């Protein structure tokens, strides 16, 4: 019995009957340890296989959502079929593996991009808002403050030391 041998590998003694614990034969103890190690190896191999399959579609999704396409930022609904999933399945699996929704991830990445653009300077807040697909500077500023903790103008002053 696999369960018994696994427990035997973890415990030096196994209680039997009314007379308490009986010392186990060293061979049986070693067999239990071996079985425990093999079980761990099989579980690790399954996780590794699952991980590599996960990485393919997830990494592709992260790239698509985090980078501006030739025309605009692709929506999560546009990305899902590109990675071979329905939108609902894509959204559920994405949240399960990353801890945030695809839309939330994309918004965070866009605002990180905005932070870098503000830090580098030379781009107006209106240009950044337009590039990121916000309808106007007000909505961009509100989203930026929610994510970064400062308005874009305050952030610009802080990073420039003014």
Confidence of residue 160 (pLDDT cuts 50, 70, 90): confident
Contact between 114 and 140 (Cβ < 8 Å): yes
pLDDT at 115: 93
Provide the whole-model pTM: 0.62
Neighbours of 105 (CB within 10 A): 19
Element (H, E) at 118: helix 102-120
pLDDT at 27: 63
Calpha distance 157→67 (Å, rounded): 27
Calpha distance 161→142 (Å, rounded): 22
- What CA–CA distances, in Å, run from 124 to 121, 128, 159? 8, 6, 15
pLDDT at 52: 53
pLDDT at 80: 95
- What CA–CA distances, in Å, run from 160 to 103, 118, 153? 30, 9, 11
pLDDT tens per residue across span 49-82? 555 555 689 999 999 998 877 777 889 999 999 9
pLDDT tens per residue across span 128-146? 999 888 999 999 999 999 9
pLDDT at 122: 87
Q: Specify which residues 21 forms β-bridges with.
A: 15
- What CA–CA distances, in Å, run from 13 to 19, 26, 31, 159? 13, 11, 14, 65
Calpha distance 156→162 (Å, rounded): 9
pLDDT tens per residue across span 23-49? 555 665 655 565 555 565 666 555 555
Mean pLDDT of the chain: 79
């Amino acid at each position: 019995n696999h369960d018994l041998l696994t427990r035997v590998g973890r415990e030096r003694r196994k209680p039997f009957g009314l007379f308490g614990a009986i010392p186990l034969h060293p061979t049986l103890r070693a067999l239990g340890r071996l079985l425990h190690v093999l079980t761990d190896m099989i579980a690790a191999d399954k996780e590794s296989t699952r991980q590599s399959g996960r990485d393919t579609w997830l990494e592709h999704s992260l790239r698509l959502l985090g980078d501006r396409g030739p025309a605009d930022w692709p929506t999560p609904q546009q990305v899902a079929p590109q990675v071979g999933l329905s939108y609902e399945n894509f959204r559920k699996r994405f949240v399960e593996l990353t801890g945030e929704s695809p839309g939330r991830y994309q918004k965070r990445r866009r605002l990180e991009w905005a932070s870098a653009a503000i830090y580098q300077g030379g781009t107006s807040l209106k240009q950044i808002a337009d590039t990121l697909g916000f309808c106007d500077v007000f909505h961009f500023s509100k989203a930026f403050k929610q994510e970064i903790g400062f308005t874009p103008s305050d952030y610009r002053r802080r990073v420039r030391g003014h």
